[in-house]
Structure 1
Amino acid sequence: MQITLDSPASAPQPLSPYYSQVARVEHADGSALLFLSGQIAEGATLAEQTRGVFETIAALLNSHGASLADVINIRTYLTDITKLDEYGTVRRQFLNGTPPTSMTFEVPRLFRPEARVEVEVVAAVQPS
């Protein structure tokens, strides 16, 4: 097993130098698991932020030969759980197949005070 930590130049850069955006765990058969750090995005509304988050996640996955269809687990942190439907509407535009396993939490605040949503995912990449 080989582990690579990465913040690919082809995706939006992390907001802090204290973490990597992707941990890639390679298995002997050529498959890999991708663990993405929590992502936030700019935007005036929860819908705009959610769209930006999933666009960033898609770019990070793409830089490692994966796509949103490869997501097997998602964890969402919302500052207002009553907005879950608004978040879900946008999420379904990006994750429109069989839904991955999922957990959603309400939190009092996130890394940036203006952030309303943060999402982290795990994806499984098949051997090429």
Structure 2
Amino acid sequence: MQEIKKIATGSPWEDIVGYSRAIKIGNTIEVSGTTAPGANEYEQTVAIIESVKKVLNDLGADLDNIIRTRIYCTDITKWEEIGKAHGEYFGKIKPVTTMVEVAKLIDPNILVEIEFSAIVPQQ
């Protein structure tokens, strides 16, 4: 049986809702929907990716291992701001991605939420 490693960030939501920030099973990593503060969609997207980069590093991975992102935003007309930030990090990596508009996220100040999937090469 493969070892399961769970990462928590200490957010109160993790215990209230009952989830892990990230889980690594074998060489697969799944990162929960991640949000971050910022004045606009671009800043929030950058902060989210920077936050996830730290989580991946804790699990022995980095952004190059990302194979999928799922982006949820509250205003799809801001897709270019979100896409610009995403492209600055993933322009050469080119994971598969989805961007969809949702009615709202957990906090009205949160404009973007992103989930990540990664595969770390077998050693």
2:21 match: 21
2:91 match: 96
5+ long unaligned stretches in structure 2: none
| Cα deviations by residue, 1:70-108 (Å, 9 ceiling, x for unpaired) | 100110001000100110111111113141111111001
2:100 match: 105
Secondary structure of the 2:71 match is strand
Secondary structure of the 1:38 match is strand
* Number of corresponding residues: 120
Secondary structure of the 2:99 match is strand
Per the normalisation by structure 2, the TM-score is 0.89
Match 1:81 to one of 51, 76, 79: 76
Letter in 2 for 1:118: E
Are 1:2 and 2:2 matched, yes or no? yes
Q: Which has the higher helix share?
A: 2
Residue identity (%) = 32
Secondary structure of the 1:74 match is strand
Q: Distance in 2 between matches of 1:25 and 1:60?
A: 15
Per the normalisation by structure 1, the TM-score is 0.86
